[in-house]
Amino acid sequence: MTPIVTRFAPSPTGRLHVGNIRTALHNWMFAKANGGRFLLRIDDTDAARSEERFVEAIRVDLAWLGLTPDAEVRQSERFALYEARFDELVAAGRIYPAYETAQELDLKRKIQLGRGLPPVYDRAALALTDADRARLEGEGVQPHWRFRLDHDTAVEWDDLVRGDQRFEPATMSDPVVRRADGSWLYMLPSAIDDIDLGISHVVRGEDHVANTALQIQMFAALGATPPTFAHTALLTGSEGKLSKRLGSLGVDQLRESGIEPQAIRALLARLGTSDPVEPAVDMAPLLAGFDFGRFGRAPARFDEAELAQLNARVVHQLPLDAVRGRIPAGMEAEAWEAVRPNLSTVAEAADWWQVIEGPVDSPPVGEDADYLAAAAEAAAAIDWAADPWQALTAQLKQRTGRKGKALFLPLRRALTGRDHGPDMAALLPLIGRDRAVARLRQAVE
């Protein structure tokens, strides 16, 4: 059996955003679920648009997401390989020079469209003689290079998400693979790398489907069996197309808004599949049933509100070790576990730490003054070793006959300054006797 190898191939022209994080995740998951390897391929053939700071950001973002690659390659270090394979294809007549300017090509397209014909490249360059080419080059026209599609062989593949796919090469233009200045377009180096790196599965968005049809012929021309393909449906926003803002939402922004990597993974792993979204903190349950057969072909809806909700449910499960360094110094397991169920983000723990440590502003007590005076007295007298909240409320219930909200709410307000919050039974021991008595007294002063 061929070993499973996937790759995530971002161009370092910006930060990772929700769409390509999802692609990275799918590649990582498929590799890990099948005992395979996950490679990071930096597609930096375009020197003008690629930036080193984005390469670094991609590494940092993947590490934060827990999608660490098993190896990393950079296309800019592999030009010799592309050159060699390009030469072979030129020698075999599968790549040919073309001399049209962008304006000429544009005009050809307009004429075709005007006649109701598909705007497919007419292969005029294939009809040039050696003398024609020599003359053009003598005039200083440098050729760009096209891959000659094999019109006699339909392109077919069984896509893991989309099922049987079929394209007629005659309906497609011979793709330009190299520009006149010698620089590479994405398509050919990618196919060369997929062969050289032993990529068994190419997992990417369905915006690449037409590229795949072309690349499958490149694999054949290069003497290789194409990898297996999985093209996932694209993300959409809750109201149609993914907005520019949502679409460009970067890992850095998500992280700054308090979203945990586990929440991003849990959502993106299941979005667009027939499995429910669950607040999984570990990857194991997500990996267990991972299967492209469970992906739908309809666009997957990405909803920021859903991510925020899922994030809260993830935060409620995080152990202290996962949040240390991000919560106030001095906050230990007991305090973390007491406040955790009330958080939407880890950063909010600081608010509750302030409530525990004080000072707190207690709201006006109104008619509860006598009651709180009694509470202060009771709080000073009860045994704090066991369950002080139970002891305090039991005693006050007996002394005052209050129950329910009338019993609990004035205490919560005076002790925490708020109407809502973590379970008082967990909070009160953390506030402790001295602060609790002082707060109750202060409330009636």
Q: Which is nearest to 23 in space by CA: 207, 196, 159? A: 207
Write the CB contacts of 398 (distance below 8 Å, at least 6 apart in sequence): none
Q: Which residue is nearest to ligand GLU (CB)?
A: 43
Nearer to ligand GLU among residue 215 and residue 262 (C-beta): 215
Directed axis angle between helix 404-416 and helix 369-381, to 10°?
A: 70
Stretch that binds ligand GLU, among 6-14, 29-37, 140-148, 328-336 (CB under 6 A): 6-14
Nearer to ligand GLU among residue 172 and residue 391 (C-beta): 172
User: Under a CB-based contact definition with an 8 Å cutoff, are residues 76 and 44 in contact?
Assistant: yes
Tell which one of 4, 5, 6, 10 touches ligand GLU (CB under 6 A): 10
Tell me whether residue 397 is annotated as binding.
no
Told to check if 204 binds ligand GLU by CB under 6 A, we report: yes
Pattern of binders to ligand GLU over 208-237, x per CB under 6 A?
Answer: x-----------------------------
* Rounded Cα–Cα distance for residues 334 and 313 (Å): 19
Nearer to ligand GLU among residue 10 and residue 69 (C-beta): 10
Number of H helices, E strands in the chain: 20, 13
Report residue 357 as tokens. Answer: 């440590």
Told to check if 186 binds ligand GLU by CB under 6 A, we report: yes
Tell me how far CA of residue 88 lies from CA of 132, 217, 305, 444, in angstroms. 23, 15, 52, 90
C-beta atoms surrounding 218 within 10 Å: 26
Tell which one of 12, 16, 43, 227 touches ligand GLU (CB under 6 A): 43
User: Under a CB-based contact definition with an 8 Å cutoff, are residues 118 and 112 in contact?
Assistant: yes
Nearer to ligand GLU among residue 62 and residue 343 (C-beta): 62
Nearer to ligand GLU among residue 11 and residue 309 (C-beta): 11
Tell me the closest approach of the beta carbon of residue 209 to ligand GLU, in angstroms.
12
Tell which one of 4, 5, 6, 9 touches ligand GLU (CB under 6 A): 9
Stretch that binds ligand GLU, among 5-13, 49-57, 157-165, 258-266 (CB under 6 A): 5-13
Q: Which is nearest to 415 in space by CA: 395, 434, 390, 394? A: 434
Q: Which is nearest to 184 in space by CA: 268, 81, 102, 93? A: 81
Binding-site annotation: residue ranges for ATP: 244
The contact set with ligand GLU (CB under 6 A) reads 9-11, 43, 186, 190, 204, 208
